[in-house]
Amino acid sequence: MSAYQNLEEPQEELYEHHKFSATKGQEPLRVDKFLMNFIENATRNKIQKAAKDGNIWVNNQIVKQNYKVKAGDEVRVLFTHPPYEFLLTPENIPLDIVYEDEVLLVVNKPAGMVVHPGHGNYSGTLINALVHHVENLPNNSSERPGLVHRIDKDTSGLLVVAKTEAAMTYLSKQFFEKTSEREYIALVWGNVADDEGTIEGNLARHPKNRLQMAVFPEGDEGKEAVTHYKVLERLGYVTLVSCKLETGRTHQIRVHMKYIGHTLFNDERYGGDKILKGTTFTKYKQFVENAFKILPRQALHAKTLGFKHPVTGEPMQFNSEIPQDMQQCIEKWRKYAQHAE
């Protein structure tokens, strides 16, 4: 659980508080390593600083970074942030704007760019670029100006940004009511059995690794998630697929594809950075390692985005090219598959 809280101090710092309970199967593990498994963008240095400042507690007792967490322990940590205003500093970062008018813009986000500021990413984000490009972006409930939806840092592709309160409301409603169109292109491990299909299963935080999401097929936890997939090309040990989102949950495609046995290629968080399919030959291992170097991220691109315009009501659809790193990786697998036949 994470929450922001303003404290009445002159510097008006923001604090980020996390609280976790170690599960029954937890083997003794240093608290700094335990926290790195649970908190995104929390580096060892930041955790060490929190420990030095007396901001790590286990069972309400301050502990040092070498304390070993055991099953049943309740672990809390407090991180400090710069003032909120600093998080929204305008930065003159080039944007790939696909479309723009008075009420909205569509941007093609490159892989590696974080969408909004947060712990460990205080600058260089899409929001920093947007607040430089557009004055008075409308705020939403998460204090992320202009954002109607998000994509992961290492996912490339299209995002729509609202420039007015009315546009924010209108567009957000479309995403909530599942009337927007979102198509992603993914390269996944394995030969997907069916030419097309639908994956359904609630998504929630993984009980043991809070950096991951997990599928809860019984629907007893999490939020409803539906992904429609279609095979575009079979490339031997990997498959190129189109994924259309009916819902837009955190890591949805990444988790759903892993759930059916087809983890995204080079998706480090979900194990796709290992050789999951193929032979034991040294040449094959070298081939895959080279493919990882060409595409040093998960193979996922938000290709198509569609919605109704907030003012005119006219349907709008935008498409983006698959970026060069992903194209090169696909082509490498295409040649390998042809050679292996």
DSSP codes joined into one string, 55-114: -EEETTEE--TTPEE-TT-EEEEEEEE--HHHHT--------EEEE-SSEEEEEEPTT--
Q: Are 116 and 110 in contact (CB under 8 A)?
A: no
Within its chain, how far is the Cα of 162 from the centroid?
Answer: 20
- Percentage of residues of the chain with pLDDT beyond 70: 90
Band (74; pLDDT cuts 50, 70, 90) = very high
Does 184 have pLDDT greater than 60? yes
Catalytic residue among 152, 154, 273, 325: 152
- Percentage of residues of the chain with pLDDT beyond 90: 65
Band (85; pLDDT cuts 50, 70, 90) = low
What pTM value is reported for the model? 0.78
Q: Which position has the token pair 């809390």?
A: 76
Is residue 152 among the annotated active site residues? yes
Does 83 have pLDDT greater than 60? no
Q: Which position has the token pair 């919605």?
A: 307
Instruction: Count CB neighbours of 178 within 10 A.
Output: 13
Burial (CB < 10 A; 0-12, 13-18, 19+), residue 110, is middle
pLDDT of residue 220: 80
Q: What is the pLDDT of residues 104-126, one digit of tens each?
A: 999 999 999 999 877 667 788 99
Beta bridge partners of 234: 239
Does 84 have pLDDT greater than 80? no
Q: What is the mean pLDDT of the chain?
A: 88
3-state secondary structure of 195: coil
pLDDT of residue 15: 59
Compute the half-sphere exposure of residue 60: CA atoms within 13 Å on the CB side of its CA: 0
Phi then psi for 50, rounded to 5 degrees?
-60, -40
Q: What is the pLDDT of residues 222-251, one digit of tens each?
A: 899 999 999 999 999 999 999 999 999 989
Look at 142-146, 187-191, 225-229 and tell me which has the smallest mean pLDDT. 142-146
**Distance from C-alpha of 265 to C-alpha of 328, rounded to nearest angstrom:** 13
pLDDT of residue 57: 92
**Distance from C-alpha of 242 to C-alpha of 192, rounded to nearest angstrom:** 12
Instruction: Dig out the tokens for 301 from the structure.
Output: 């691109």
Band (86; pLDDT cuts 50, 70, 90) = low
Q: Which domains does the chain have, with CATH numbers?
A: 2-81 (3.10.290.10), 85-176 (3.30.2350.10), 181-340 (3.30.2350.10)
